């Protein structure tokens, strides 16, 4: 369609992706929404023409000449970079021919024109190289039926309504500033949310026998060389020079945890040792990759490092899985998938450690999943450079999948740091290590939670549980007395004492996603009562202040009974 409308446009590459496809193009003008409308109209025409698609192959030199004659330099480069023995295939439909491995449908008539939508256009570098030509990337999607397209577009609109950047601003949770790109600011209500999650994290981990530490944010180069980060991760690290020596701001908490373990001798009786750390880490991300709280340069990782004997590894791995399941259930993330991330079968150079240790680590994860009855997809090439891992992808309220929670088995860092414990045989042995983070990044978890709930957080987690709405200003004093009594019962309460009509106050409170509204006027003040409204359910009747407080705390306890 683009080549029909603007023959001078040069085509680059256009793969299918998880949702639809994109095509990178080099155009002498910027594509606008008006251009998109024209392209869609032309695409619909092509569908109606029911053009047959024909596949053919050409020898390498003929293929290069063919694309040169068509004035497609990007296609020529792609052909030149193909392996010598690779088949070079093309697909032809009507007057249009494109380089493609295929396969394709047999006819453009298979596509319903009213089920096509171009969704976005943005900049992209040729072959992902920022030093090369900037292209324009047009995204699109198609479905067998218009009804499916309509449902998809509604889901996209719902995602926009749930956008954590939008809701984060509206609810006063966090802000992002040009003075610190990728470095988020948490506001008072956001800190209540974050700290409540952290308090919950601490209670769960205390129950499972964890201790907590804090390690320095900046450590010297020798440590990062020893851990392998300096050689394998330096492009993502912020570095500095102190007293003439190289230092790095930590991108991970692990090396500091190694030093804590090495600070005193350990016996086999001490293990397993479960050490948690809510560590602030920094990782350099390209500016184009930054996205709200989903991708930042500074975040709190809810890390823990477990040091155990080899015979304890599987049991400890299973207990970590239990912790992740408990946290997911408390936050209504019960719909999730698991992925076992193993080494690349071919390219082993990017990993550290012995073949034997890798095989033991990978087997431990697979066996633990089998014992738990957890169906996990295996992905090769997705392991960390120091060990395999089990990652969890949760499905949110509108069907999107997010990677949250990870468990990693590591034989290699204990080897590099020469960690030891004295065994029952009175000899020195090497512990095995488990890295794990149920939330992953606290910032990213908060972003997913905002979008999953649409800002309507569980009662135990929401920054403001109750809003008291006086019918008029003369009842403000009573409203603040109710607030005092509820806060004494450990509830989070605010008063809307504005000189506004009660209907306006109710609407504004609903927009703030506050779970409960208490309407107070003359009758309530006389009877020491409150008139209760619940978000999404409406009027719940009048009750005594003490009864309301008791009911709310009982509701919180019920929500968290799995603790």
CB atoms within 10 A of CB 241: 9
Q: Which of 3, 283, 319, 512 is catalytic?
A: 283
What are 304's two structure tokens?
A: 């823990």
In the residue annotation, 305 being an active-site residue is answered as yes
Q: Is 65 a catalytic residue?
A: no
* Token couple for 398: 């509108």
C-beta of residue 309 within 8 angstroms of C-beta of residue 431: yes
Q: Assess contact for 258 and 378: CB atoms under 8 A.
A: no
| Annotated catalytic residue within 303, 391, 410, 496 | 303
Sequence-ordered strand ranges (E) for 221-358:
239-242, 245-249, 273-282, 298-308, 336-342
Task: Give the Å distances, CA to CA, from 37 to 398, 457, 514.
Answer: 28, 39, 41
Tell me the CA distances in angstroms from 263 to 218, 221, 309, one per residue in order: 18, 19, 18
Pairing, β 298-308 against β 273-282: antiparallel
Q: How far is the C-alpha of 369 from the C-alpha of 409, rounded, in Å?
A: 13
The answer to whether residues 100 and 89 touch, using CB atoms and an 8 Å cutoff, is yes
Q: Which residues contact 480 (CB under 8 A, 6 or more apart)?
A: 495, 497
Phi, psi of 425 (to 5 degrees): -85, 5
CA distance 518 to 527: 14
Annotation says 203 is catalytic: no
Kind of pairing between the strands at 466-470 and 516-520: parallel
Task: Give catalytic status of residue 254 as yes or no.
Answer: yes
Instruction: Identify the CA nearest to 514 among candidates 480, 548, 545, 468.
Output: 468
Q: What are the angstrom distances between the C-alpha of 58 and each of 64, 93, 467, 480, 516?
A: 9, 17, 72, 81, 70
Number of C-beta neighbours around residue 496 at 10 A:
20
CA 23 to chain centre: 25
Considering the candidates 121, 254, 308, 369, report the single residue annotated as catalytic: 254
Per annotation, catalytic residue among 35, 305, 319, 452: 305
Question: Which residue among 121, 194, 301, 465 is the active-site one?
Answer: 301
3-state helix, strand, coil in the chain (%, to 5): 40, 30, 35
Maximum CA extent, the chain: 93
Known catalytic membership, residue 303:
yes
Contacts for 54 with CB less than 8 Å, ≥ 6 apart: 91, 92, 93
The active-site residue, picked from 389, 483, 512, 533, is 389
Catalytic residue (choose from 435, 436, 444, 533): 435
Beta-sheet pairing, 493-495 with 466-470: parallel
Catalytic residues: 254, 283, 301, 303, 305, 389, 435
């Amino acid at each position: 369609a683009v080549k029909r409308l603007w023959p001078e446009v040069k085509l680059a590459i256009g793969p299918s992706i998880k949702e639809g496809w994109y095509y990178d193009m080099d155009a002498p003008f910027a594509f606008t929404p008006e251009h998109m409308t024209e392209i869609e109209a032309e695409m619909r025409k092509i569908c109606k023409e029911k053009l047959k698609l024909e596949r053919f192959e050409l020898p390498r030199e003929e293929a290069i000449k063919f694309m040169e004659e068509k004035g497609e330099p990007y296609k020529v480069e792609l052909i030149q970079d193909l392996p010598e023995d690779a088949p070079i295939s093309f697909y032809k439909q009507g007057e249009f021919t494109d380089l493609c491995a295929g396969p394709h449908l047999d006819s453009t008539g298979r596509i319903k024109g009213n089920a096509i939508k171009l969704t976005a256009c943005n900049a992209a570098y040729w072959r992902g190289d920022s030093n090369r030509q900037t292209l324009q990337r047009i995204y699109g999607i198609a479905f067998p039926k218009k009804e499916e397209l309509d449902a998809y577009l509604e889901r996209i609109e719902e995602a926009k309504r749930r956008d954590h950047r939008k809701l984060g601003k509206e609810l006063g949770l966090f802000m992002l500033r040009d003075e610190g790109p990728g470095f988020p600011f948490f506001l008072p209500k956001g800190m209540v949310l974050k700290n409540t999650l952290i308090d919950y994290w601490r209670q769960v981990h205390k129950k499972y026998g964890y201790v907590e530490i804090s390690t320095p944010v900046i450590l010297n180069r020798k440590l990062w060389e020893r851990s392998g980060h300096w050689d394998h991760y330096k492009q993502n690290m912020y570095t500095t020079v102190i007293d003439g020596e190289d230092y790095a701001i930590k991108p991970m908490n692990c090396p500091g945890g190694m030093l804590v373990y090495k600070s005193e001798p350990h016996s086999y009786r001490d293990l397993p040792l479960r050490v948690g750390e809510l560590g602030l880490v920094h990782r350099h991300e390209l500016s184009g990759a930054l996205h709200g709280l989903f991708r930042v340069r500074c975040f709190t990782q809810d890390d823990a490092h477990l040091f155990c004997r080899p015979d304890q590894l599987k049991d400890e791995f299973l207990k970590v899985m239990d912790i992740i399941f408990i946290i997911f259930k408390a936050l209504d993330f019960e719909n999730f998938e698991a992925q076992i991330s193993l080494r690349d079968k071919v390219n082993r150079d990017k990993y550290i450690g012995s073949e034997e240790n890798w095989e033991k680590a990978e087997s431990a994860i697979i066996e633990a999943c089998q014992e738990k009855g957890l169906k996990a997809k295996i992905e090769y090439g997705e392991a960390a450079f120091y060990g395999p891992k089990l990652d969890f992808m949760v499905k949110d309220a509108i069907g999107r999948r997010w990677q949250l929670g990870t468990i990693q088995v590591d034989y290699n860092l204990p080897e590099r740091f020469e960690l030891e414990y004295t065994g029952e045989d009175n000899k020195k042995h090497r512990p095995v290590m488990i890295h794990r983070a149920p939330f992953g990044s606290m910032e990213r978890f908060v972003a997913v939670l905002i979008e999953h709930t649409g800002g309507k957080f569980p009662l135990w987690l929401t920054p403001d549980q109750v809003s008291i709405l006086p019918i008029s200003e003369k009842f403000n004093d009573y409203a603040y007395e109710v607030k005092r009594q509820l806060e004494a019962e450990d509830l989070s309460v605010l008063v809307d004492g504005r000189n506004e009509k009660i209907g306006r106050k109710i609407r504004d409170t609903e927009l703030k996603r506050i779970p409960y509204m208490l309407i107070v006027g003359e009758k309530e003040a006389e009877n020491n009562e409150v008139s209760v409204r619940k978000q999404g359910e409406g009027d719940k009747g009048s009750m005594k202040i003490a009864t309301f407080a008791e009911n709310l705390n009982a509701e919180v306890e019920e929500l968290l009974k799995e603790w």
